[in-house]
Amino acid sequence: LAKTTQPISMDSYEGQEVNITCSHNNIATNDYITWYQQFPSQGPRFIIQGYKTKVTNEVASLFIPADRKSSTLSLPRVSLSDTAVYYCLPRKDSSYKLIFGSGTRLLVRP
């Protein structure tokens, strides 16, 4: 599976838009990009998944450029409750394997 690189940590303020970029230079043709969120003392929670271009749901948007070597998770107007660790995971279609890296620790300040 493709190796990923994400910022170790990010700081933001309530109401701001937060963009977390993940690099995955050697992503395979059949890899999807999946993002999970983990709050303190909880298990990871699926946020969004995409293959290319843009995907949006009620929680976030995911932007994947044409070369698919990176992806950007966009959280609109964050609140204090968005403080969490965010993981970017390339995931092969039809595979159960989730390879979690170190993630990005997002701190939202008042």
Partner 1 sequence: DAGVIQSPRHEVTEMGQEVTLRCKPISGHNSLFWYRQTMMRGLELLIYFNNNVPIDDSGMPEDRFSAKMPNASFSTLKIQPSEPRDSAVYFCASSTGESDTQYFGPGTRLTVL
Q: List interacting residues with partner 1 (CB under 8 A).
A: 41-46, 49, 93-98, 100-102
**Cα dihedral 33, 38, 43, 47 in deg (nearest 10):** -40
Beta bridge partners of 86: 37, 104
Q: Which is nearer to partner 1, 25 or 30 (CB)?
A: 30
Q: Which is nearer to partner 1, 49 or 72 (CB)?
A: 49
**Least distance (Å) between residue 23 CB and partner 1:** 18
Distance, in Å, from the CA atom of 23 to the CA atom of 3, rounded to the nearest integer, reads 8
**Least distance (Å) between residue 30 CB and partner 1:** 11
